């Protein structure tokens, strides 16, 4: 598992064996797992405050966001717990009994990671269903939801039964010798997720461009619609890190930022699912601080307040594919 033996050690110049063994990347791992989760949690709380308390509404996408947040919480706890068993330290200090615990936790986090990516995408797509009510958009969204389900199930099955028998997944004497090529599964899953993220951006942005809105507000909506591209970036970085680990001779030490990029990808997805609905909370905070800077609109105009591949109006209305011009006070 360590991809090396104690006898293979070449100590860095100027370091004794004791100093080498004392090195740790655990604080970096903890910060890399906890920080993205805390940022995402702030947006989740703001979303539920906006939706449940300020607007008194609750929809299917809110349920999927909550499920994703619970998954992210467990994922973060598992990423942190793995540091108790030698990950983030050199393999020379990893105890034999730690290897089993590391493999069990890694097995669980791989399954959870795949599930969270799916639920966050479904959260965004169910928001699409609530916002884009024209028949063409509805069909496209249902198609994307079906795609999420159809690629997630085989990816999960490959992870569950990656080894023969499956419990070899946490047997350090047989893993990964009795398992499928895990790299293939990782690239397959990443490819599907990246494709869908780009598809969601391609679906959302063209539906924002025709809106008759002030330039700054329109730019903001396009930026929100393109948030899924951030998930693509984090997924690509994660893939690059995985490819470099294949040749590692000190896996517990070299894999320290793998949990970080997994956490970033999961929580950026959660951020993308929650950010579009928090404007009421932001407005309430501004009002409380006497810093209300909302633009003045003509009487009866309803400006969009949020968008993530969909457009959520202040009055809870929906956005059809061919939107009417919105009057703006000059």
pLDDT of residue 72: 97
pLDDT of residue 171: 87
Distances (CA, A) of 82 to 86, 140, 165: 7, 40, 24
**DSSP label at 289?**
T
pLDDT of residue 173: 85
pLDDT of residue 278: 62
Q: Which residue has the higher pLDDT, 80 or 92?
A: 80
**Displacement of CA 199 from its chain's centroid (Å):** 16
The reply to whether 4 falls in a domain is no
Burial class (CB in 10 A: 0-12, 13-18, 19+), 53: exposed
Question: Residue 208 half-sphere exposure, CB side, CA atoms within 13 Å?
Answer: 31
The reply to whether 327 falls in a domain is no
Report whether 213 contacts 207 (CB < 8 A): no
The reply to whether 244 falls in a domain is yes
Q: Which two tokens stand for residue 264?
A: 């970033």
Backbone torsions φ then ψ of 219, nearest 5 degrees = -60, -40
Report whether 201 contacts 228 (CB < 8 A): yes
Identify the CA nearest to 43 among candidates 266, 278, 314: 278
Report whether 277 contacts 66 (CB < 8 A): no
Identify the CA nearest to 4 among candidates 19, 26, 20: 20
The reply to whether 330 falls in a domain is no
Q: Which residue has the higher pLDDT, 191 or 314?
A: 191
Report whether 168 contacts 178 (CB < 8 A): yes
Question: Residue 97 half-sphere exposure, CB side, CA atoms within 13 Å?
Answer: 1
Return the ∠ at Cα 329 (arms to 280 and 291), rounded to 5°. Answer: 40
Calculate mean pLDDT across residues 110-134. Answer: 92
- At 20-31, the pLDDT tens digits run 888 999 999 999
Question: Residue 63 half-sphere exposure, CB side, CA atoms within 13 Å?
Answer: 4
* Residue-number span of the structural domain to which 272 is assigned: 23-313
Q: Which two tokens stand for residue 163?
A: 């080894």
Report whether 283 contacts 49 (CB < 8 A): no
How far is 207 from 127, CA to CA, in rounded Å?
14
How far is 323 from 327, CA to CA, in rounded Å?
12
Strand ranges (E), 195-307: 304-307
The reply to whether 329 falls in a domain is no
**Displacement of CA 96 from its chain's centroid (Å):** 33
The reply to whether 16 falls in a domain is no
Identify the CA nearest to 32 among candidates 82, 72, 79, 70: 79
pTM: 0.80
The reply to whether 18 falls in a domain is no
Q: Which residues of 206-217 are buried (b: 16+ CB within 10 A; e: fewer)?
A: ebbeebebeeeb
What total of structural domains would you count in the chain? Answer: 1
CATH number for the domain that contains residue 122: 1.20.1070
**DSSP label at 212?**
-
Q: What's the chain's average pLDDT?
A: 80
Confidence of residue 14 (pLDDT cuts 50, 70, 90): confident
Q: Which two tokens stand for residue 29?
A: 């791992």
The reply to whether 5 falls in a domain is no
Confidence of residue 280 (pLDDT cuts 50, 70, 90): low
């Amino acid at each position: 598992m360590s991809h090396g033996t104690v006898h293979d050690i070449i100590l860095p110049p100027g370091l004794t064996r004791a100093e080498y063994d004392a090195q740790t990347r655990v604080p970096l791992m903890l910060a890399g797992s906890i920080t993205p989760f805390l940022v995402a949690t702030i947006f989740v709380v703001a979303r539920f405050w906006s939706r449940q308390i300020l607007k008194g509404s609750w929809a299917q996408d809110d349920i999927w966001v909550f499920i994703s947040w619970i998954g992210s919480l467990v994922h973060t706890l598992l990423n942190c717990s793995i540091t108790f068993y030698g990950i983030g330290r050199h393999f020379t200090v990893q105890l034999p009994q730690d290897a089993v615990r590391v493999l069990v936790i890694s097995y669980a986090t791989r399954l959870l990671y795949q599930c969270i990516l799916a639920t966050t995408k479904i959260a965004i797509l169910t928001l699409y269903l609530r916002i884009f009510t024209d028949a063409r958009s509805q069909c496209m969204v249902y198609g994307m939801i079906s795609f999420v389900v159809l690629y997630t199930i085989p990816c999960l099955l490959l992870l569950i039964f990656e080894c023969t028998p499956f419990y070899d997944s946490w047997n350090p004497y047989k893993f990964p010798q009795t398992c499928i090529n895990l790299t293939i599964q990782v690239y397959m899953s990443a490819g599907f997720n990246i494709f869908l993220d780009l598809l969601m951006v391609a679906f959302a942005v063209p539906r924002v461009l025709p809106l008759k809105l002030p330039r700054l507000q329109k730019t903001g909506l396009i930026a929100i619609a393109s948030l899924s591209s951030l998930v693509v970036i984090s997924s690509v970085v994660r893939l690059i890190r995985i490819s470099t680990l294949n040749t590692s001779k000190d896996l517990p030490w070299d894999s320290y930022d793998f949990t970080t990029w997994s956490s970033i990808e999961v929580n950026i997805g959660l951020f993308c699912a929650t950010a579009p609905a928090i404007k009421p909370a932001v407005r309430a905070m501004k009002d409380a601080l006497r810093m209300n800077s909302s633009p003045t609109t003509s009487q009866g105009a309803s400006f969009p307040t949020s968008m993530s591949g969909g457009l959520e109006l202040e009055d809870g209305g929906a956005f059809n594919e061919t939107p009417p011009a919105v009057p703006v006070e000059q």
